[in-house]
Amino acid sequence: MSLRITVVGAGIMGLCTAWALARRGHTVSVFDQGQVPNPFGSSVDQHRLFRHAYGNQTGYARMADTAFQAWERLWTDLGERLLVPSGTLCTASAEDGRRWLADSAAVLEALGHPFRRLTRAQIAAEFPLVDASAVAEGLHMTSGGVLLAGRIVELLSHHLNALGVTVHARNPVTAIDAERASVTLADRRVIGADVLVVAAGAWVTKLLPETAGRLVPSRQVVAYLTPPEGLRGVWANAPMLIDADSDSGVYVVPPVAGTTMKAGDHRFSRSGDPDADRDPDPEEARDVLDRARRVLADGHRYSLANAATCFYTVTADERFVIESLSQRAWLMSPCSGHGFKFAPALGEALAAAVDNPEEGRRTLPHWAGGY
């Protein structure tokens, strides 16, 4: 049976859910407060990372395989593959980071994913872009890569038109009625549907204040780096780098497919207003740059090209939230800084729950939580 479905939010989660619902024959309308892609959205950046290493979180390591297959289905539909393989190099020197590496290795081994444990000497020999003296050990996988995030959101939004999905850009939703599966727009129109999906990212607590105790906007600053002369091409063929130490750790995204090299801090601010606080302070950007310099060989030669802020929605345990709001409405908040890579799989799972709501309400929250 074809249903009329409203999706609030045209980030990667909302668009992937609309894609999965349309493929099942439903009539879908997507509403977003900004243009699509929305430059202020959590999804819109040059890149996001795809990886299998997740510490002791077996559920998410396993879900990565499900997501990879879902991405393959999406690439087929889009006619373009927007995941650039890079491999994954994880490093650590502090006790908590080394424990994360050990947990990741144990989970990967249990799931049958190939990896190699590396000593400091091996890191120095095989990955000269990394300052091996700053780390104690490493974990390398040939799997993993860079998702071209902005391009994905843009191409997917256009593809949805061909599927009959209506994407309403610059149509802010101001109120939600979960029981009636309806939304009120800024112009006071009320849009009803058979099913409502709220995938509003960092703005979800403004639309659903009752979620504010669990879902916290988290303002993050990312730094775009200029590598030393002659090394950009080398970095374009290097693995993503994840330094897992909690106090000083950083992730570094290689400049693949013409993108800019990027670094970010693992720690969540768990503060900020997504409608404000948009300009990164120079000191914030400098802190991220310094974190990256710590683990990069000749780190002092890397300079700051630009900086930007993004907003995630974080739970206390950094797990995804997908659950029913009523018999006719669903909440989708799988962010916590690592949701993008799972988007098509989560969209397909929520679309399946719409078609089988009793089963979905029973199993989807647990699965999406990575348990």
What's the chain's average pLDDT? Answer: 96
pTM of the model: 0.96
> Which residues are CB-contacts of 74 (< 8 A; sequence separation ≥ 6)?
16, 19, 156, 344
pLDDT band at 176 (very low <50, low <70, confident <90, very high): very high
Strand partners, 167: 30
Residue 74 tokens, joined: 């999406």
Residue 365 predicted with pLDDT over 90: yes
Residue 210 predicted with pLDDT over 90: yes
pLDDT band at 140 (very low <50, low <70, confident <90, very high): very high
Do the domains at 4-45+150-214+317-368 and 88-142+216-314 have one common CATH topology? no
pLDDT in tens, 36-72: 998 888 878 999 999 999 999 999 999 999 999 999 9
Segment 232-238 mean pLDDT: 97
Segment 298-303 mean pLDDT: 98
pLDDT in tens, 74-120: 999 999 999 999 999 999 999 999 999 999 999 999 999 999 999 99
Domain 4-45+150-214+317-368: CATH superfamily, name plus number? FAD/NAD(P)-binding domain (3.50.50.60)
- The pLDDT > 70 percentage for the chain reads 100
Strand partners, 339: none
Domain 88-142+216-314: CATH superfamily, name plus number? D-Amino Acid Oxidase, subunit A, domain 2 (3.30.9.10)
Contact between residue 250 and residue 266 where contact means Cβ atoms under 8 Å apart: yes
Contact between residue 59 and residue 111 where contact means Cβ atoms under 8 Å apart: no
Contact between residue 32 and residue 156 where contact means Cβ atoms under 8 Å apart: no
Going from N- to C-terminal start, the domains of the chain cover 4-45+150-214+317-368, 88-142+216-314
